[in-house]
Amino acid sequence: MGKKILTFFITLFVIISIAITIFAIKYQGAIEYIVNNNDSVSKKIYYAKDFGFEDIKSSIDYDNDGIDDYTDILNGAKIEAENKPEYKDAYYQGGYPPETEGVCSDVIWRALKNAGYSLKEMVDQDIKNNLDAYPRVNGKPDPNIDFRRVKNLIVFFERNHISLTIDLNKIEDWQPGDIVVFQSGGKDHIGIISDKRNEKGIPYLIHNGGQENREEDGLEFYNEYVWPITKHFRLKDIGEGSKND
């Protein structure tokens, strides 16, 4: 009887050890991400110049503040990351949540607002003029929420702005202020590309998923383990009529 119990526990130990090994190999990247992004770990931050190229600057300074649009968008996203609004998915009359609340899509309109753009007005107008192009609206526009839905933002940016690579190995094509979309299992997520980069040259992600660190080295991790990247956009000259008053 004693030998059977001993054999059972030895077998159980071997099975658990094998399972742990397989898990560690399969999710090595996830484990490294969790360890390296712990607040107690000091990570070296890199920038485009460390890899032999410069950040792209927009030729447009839409709000005439002496700062180009891409940098303004980046700075707006960083302000949002520092403010750390509570992750709260709700419907608001007038469309805008209070500054202390928000979801992933609120990072986008707040970042663009810092460059002088009203994403809400632009999206609402594009939906009004091209209703059939927005299946998520289902023929019933709602200005209180349409500009905060990722599926609508995908259509808007595809129709009006620049679509770029989703290959993270092409590090020069990922620039500060770019917009990135993740999709998986019917769920959508959206964020802004940072000017910070990791040792591979892959940029940090500025986003709100309810996590503590809103500007993090997570682009590769989320793409591989949570939501695959499906879209990558960059603003182009929008023209007059969209300023945030």
Q: Rounded to 10 degrees, what is the CA torsion of 31, 33, 39, 42? A: 110
Average pLDDT score, the chain: 87
- What pLDDT was estimated at residue 157? 98
Residue 162: enclosing H or E segment and its boundaries? Answer: strand 162-163
- 168-205 confidence digits (pLDDT tens): 999 999 999 999 999 999 899 999 999 999 999 999 99
pTM of the model: 0.82
- What pLDDT was estimated at residue 43? 82
- What pLDDT was estimated at residue 181? 98
- What pLDDT was estimated at residue 2? 59
Q: Which of 208, 219, 221 is nearest to 102 (CA)?
A: 208
